[in-house]
Amino acid sequence: MADEYATHFDDLLGTVDESLHGRSGSVFYSGRRAFAVPAKLYMLGLNPGGNPITQREQTIARNIEALRLRDSWSAYADESWRNRPAGTHGMQPRVLHLLRRLNLEPRLVPASNVVFVRTAREADLSREKEQFLPLCWKIHAAVIERLGVRVVTCFGRTAGSWVREQMGAHEQVDEFIEQNGRRWSSHAHAASDGRRVVTLTHPSIADWTNPKTDPTPLVERALQKVA
The CA-to-CA distance between both ends of the chain, in Å, stands at 21
Q: Which residues contact 134 (CB under 8 A, 6 or more apart)?
A: none
Please give the Cα distance from 180 to 95 (Å, whole number). 20
Domain range for residue 168? Answer: 2-225
Query: What percentage of residues in the chain have a pLDDT greater than 90?
Result: 88
**Closest to 30 in 3D by CA, of 44, 51, 11:** 44
How many domains would you assign to the chain? 1
pTM score:
0.95
Query: What average pLDDT does range 35-63 have in this prediction?
Result: 94
CATH code at 207? 3.40.470.10
Helix (H, G, I), strand (E, B) or coil at 5: helix
pLDDT tens digits, one per residue of 158-192: 999 999 999 999 999 999 999 999 999 999 999 99
User: What is the overall mean pLDDT for the chain?
Assistant: 95
